[in-house]
Structure 1
């Protein structure tokens, strides 16, 4: 692998003429980099595809190839990609609907906007995998038809399709008005009763782990119910029956539904499995009374999920912040706090709550400045990246808290070039900060040279445009291939050197 040419392929400053030359000599890894260029022209894309067929698919999805550029017989995958983007020719759809390769018909089945005759062909395809894929993405009318398909795998796909009508989803869940499925993937291939070994040693086996059938297609039916529970179009009244179901998976899916009736939520709050209660705690549709019940639940992950619930009251969140390990994350409830609530949070006696507030990046200047001067280092680490802080404030954080805040200060978009240089000389060395300095837009040549001394920061610094050009050229011979590629991709690499490097 030529890492220099791989880097050049991604260099945004590479002249158009050199892109053409690189296309003519590229190997597969270089071609991938060229395919990702934002400035690649249609002519260059066509030239690239003429040498590397596999590149056609991503280029088709990027809109760099049209139907006129693709022969569906020679480049079937690219043609299918264009059909997926509704940019292919209708006759292609008919061609692939009759293709002997199942994989191509399966890919076609997921494409939107297919002609009516093609849709009928896919709905009647002899391979159930094609029909199931079609059922997963098809329109409401066709989904309603396929819900009565005799194969359980097709019904499973219909249950996951959000275009499926609500009454059809209810029918799939309850079974009312629906004849039992005749087959599933398990009994298609194995003598029942059969349970698929999750560690199946057969290389040609594609049954899902744990797939089982004893005559009633048990695993597929369970999966169908789980997918229907996850489908927002499934009516609430059809799924509440699963509150006491022996399957933990189904109870978890039910607990996460935002339309959960309060009385069902109350039953699930007493579920013996902490995972069910944790999913309930994260449900944005549960009411205040249930939230307060779950706030006292010490089951695994329940309180942490509750803290991330956008409807958690601030007084409950205040208690949770002092006991639950939430970490430096912007919680939805904090992000939605009103100006009055922001003021209250900023003056809270609980430093964990002030830390959570400090994760916001839109705080009023007065509150931002108060948090920047907070005596608690966790609060300062959270506020350090906030835009608008002065150099004096950022330096003050480093002086007060030292190594514990340097890497966070280095992420501040307003950190000055002088401050970044000073932080590279921090004693003891702030190695984690060097990685942030290496990617900072204000980093200077001297700061970047210091970053090159750190193994993890070195590849990042090698790609920074402020690195002196002679140093970039030297890094083209570095022992680390990541450094080489980053240097070759650096837009500040002298153009004369680029011309020398491309064969």
Structure 2
């Protein structure tokens, strides 16, 4: 019997011939892996997958994976477990208030999104409001005027499509939408004070992020008893540094004393002072040495700072500050390489660094001789790495390096086939998934599985 990692790796291999795909689909676990592929599967493969009657497979057989003809056959399937598996899941999500996607809703109910926006079931209308982000203005207005509070709340919750200015006043008087709009609506002095003293802390927390707050409202909010409110207002542009320090010290003391909400407000907030990006350069430069890292992070997203400021940010002790700074168009290639080499463990950072137009691809091959396995593996991101160097890394003592080599499309097919006997399952699976794997090796894997 073949090792399972090789079989499952084949399920991810985009070069697997259709005849082998059909045989592979006969294995339940492999069928589950096939259901997570990208691209349309051949109809005969889907037919075999249906035979497992496996919910974990049936739920995934949607338009992104199955042809229109096969979708029609599934919709008319005599077995309701097959026919209704995917649509039933999305309908159940809707009834439970679990967010899906607007395409999934249309598929589940067999109707257009514009029709679903006026469905008699308020749960469906709320689901549309949560997921149809580019809905027309008339649909948004209807959802914001819906008789059910949950629908109005869902319609106002996200900044896409947002609430148009002409509806701000109405939404600020509606308990279902007030907190969602309070963060960005233009406020009069009276309305700002009204919201700053609202009995609901979520409304006060939201309005604390509003850039149009009056100074009087800011003063009220800095004295708010709820940690979430103070955890938002300390970032406001009208709060001075001394007040910021005082508010953060308060929250730290409360968190140390065991206040969970204070701990969350202090350590789990993702709010940033976006207003800083709209300030003149001279104002922004005052934050280069801010003791509050969130201000330095926003500052590093600027694109018009003078060279001395960039040098400070490029050597900031916070990784995100250095990363944001490196995304500027004229970031030095040496800086990009240093960040990639020293902190290339985060997939998001890796992807963004490699997309930079000045990323020094040619310098990656020098990393192949680094004493750290993690760094040697990073060298394999270069698609043009010489084949002999890829082959050498394929025999590296470190598992992480061999796995990265097994994924490289420049690896010699003979070396790749040999990696199917690697002692590490992840390496084997990566080798089996590589499109350069010889077809003969693919056949051996499927044959030895008895499929």
Aligned to 1:70: 74
Check conservation: 1:9, 1:30, Cα contact below 8 A: yes
Check conservation: 2:156, 2:162, Cα contact below 8 A: no
Distance (Å, rounded) in 2 between the aligned partners of 1:331 and 1:258: 19
- How many residues are aligned here? 389
Instruction: Kindly indicate whether residue 288 of structure 2 is the aligned counterpart of residue 324 of structure 1.
Output: no
Deviation by residue 1:268-320 (Cα, 9 ceiling, x = unmatched): 3554656434434556xx5xx55767766661579994499433665565554
Query: CA 1:482 to 1:63, structure 2 compared with 1: closer, same or farther past 3 Å?
Result: closer
Check conservation: 1:22, 1:502, Cα contact below 8 A: yes
Instruction: Kindly indicate whether residue 448 of structure 2 is the aligned counterpart of residue 501 of structure 1.
Output: no
Secondary structure at 1:384's aligned position in 2? helix
Check conservation: 1:462, 1:483, Cα contact below 8 A: yes
Query: CA 1:337 to 1:58, structure 2 compared with 1: closer, same or farther past 3 Å?
Result: same
Distance (Å, rounded) in 1 between the aligned partners of 2:31 and 2:156: 41
Map 1:30-429 onto structure 2 (within 5 A): 30-41=30-41, 43-44=43-44, 46-47=46-47, 50-51=50-51, 54=55, 55-62=57-64, 64-66=66-68, 68-71=72-75, 74-79=82-87, 111=106, 113=112, 122-123=119-120, 125=121, 129=123, 133=127, 139-140=139-140, 142-143=142-143, 146-147=146-147, 149=148, 153=150, 156-157=153-154, 160=157, 170-171=169-170, 174=173, 225-227=178-180, 229=182, 236=187, 241-258=194-211, 260=213, 263-265=216-218, 267-269=220-222, 271=224, 275-280=228-233, 286=237, 290=239, 299=248, 300=266, 305-306=272-273, 309-311=276-278, 314=281, 318=285, 320-322=287-289, 324=291, 326=293, 331-338=297-304, 341-346=305-310, 351-352=315-316, 356=322, 359-364=325-330, 368=332, 372=334, 384=338, 413-416=360-363, 418-423=365-370, 429=371
Stretches of structure 2 that go unaligned for 5 or more consecutive residues are: 133-138, 249-265
Residue 62 of structure 1 and its aligned partner are, at CA, apart by 1.3
Indicate the structure whose relative CO is greater, using CA pairs within 8 Å and at least 6 residues apart: 2
Residue 227 of structure 1 and its aligned partner are, at CA, apart by 4.3
Query: CA 1:469 to 1:253, structure 2 compared with 1: closer, same or farther past 3 Å?
Result: same
Aligned to 2:374: 432
Check conservation: 1:106, 1:134, Cα contact below 8 A: no
Residue 488 of structure 1 and its aligned partner are, at CA, apart by 0.8
Aligned to 1:454: 398
Secondary structure at 1:310's aligned position in 2? helix
Distance (Å, rounded) in 2 between the aligned partners of 1:464 and 1:325: 42
Query: CA 1:75 to 1:236, structure 2 compared with 1: closer, same or farther past 3 Å?
Result: farther
Check conservation: 2:144, 2:151, Cα contact below 8 A: no
Distance (Å, rounded) in 1 between the aligned partners of 2:289 and 2:196: 32
Residue 337 of structure 1 and its aligned partner are, at CA, apart by 2.4
Give RMSD over aligned pairs: 5.1
Query: CA 1:264 to 1:77, structure 2 compared with 1: closer, same or farther past 3 Å?
Result: farther
Deviation by residue 1:193-216 (Cα, 9 ceiling, x = unmatched): xxxxxxxxxxxxxxxxxxxxxxxx
Q: Which has the larger radius of gyration?
A: 1
Stretches of structure 1 that go unaligned for 5 or more consecutive residues are: 85-95, 176-220, 373-379, 387-402, 424-428
Greater displacement, 303-312 / 48-57: 303-312
Secondary structure at 2:409's aligned position in 1? coil
Deviation by residue 1:147-187 (Cα, 9 ceiling, x = unmatched): 3x4xx655654654767777777556535xxxxxxxxxxxx
Check conservation: 1:311, 1:333, Cα contact below 8 A: no
Secondary structure at 2:24's aligned position in 1? helix
Residue 497 of structure 1 and its aligned partner are, at CA, apart by 0.8
Distance (Å, rounded) in 2 between the aligned partners of 1:313 and 1:292: 18
Deviation by residue 1:311-347 (Cα, 9 ceiling, x = unmatched): 36655655544353749x9945434322xx3435346
Secondary structure at 2:397's aligned position in 1? coil
Residue 131 of structure 1 and its aligned partner are, at CA, apart by 6.5
Query: CA 1:298 to 1:447, structure 2 compared with 1: closer, same or farther past 3 Å?
Result: farther
Aligned to 1:192: none
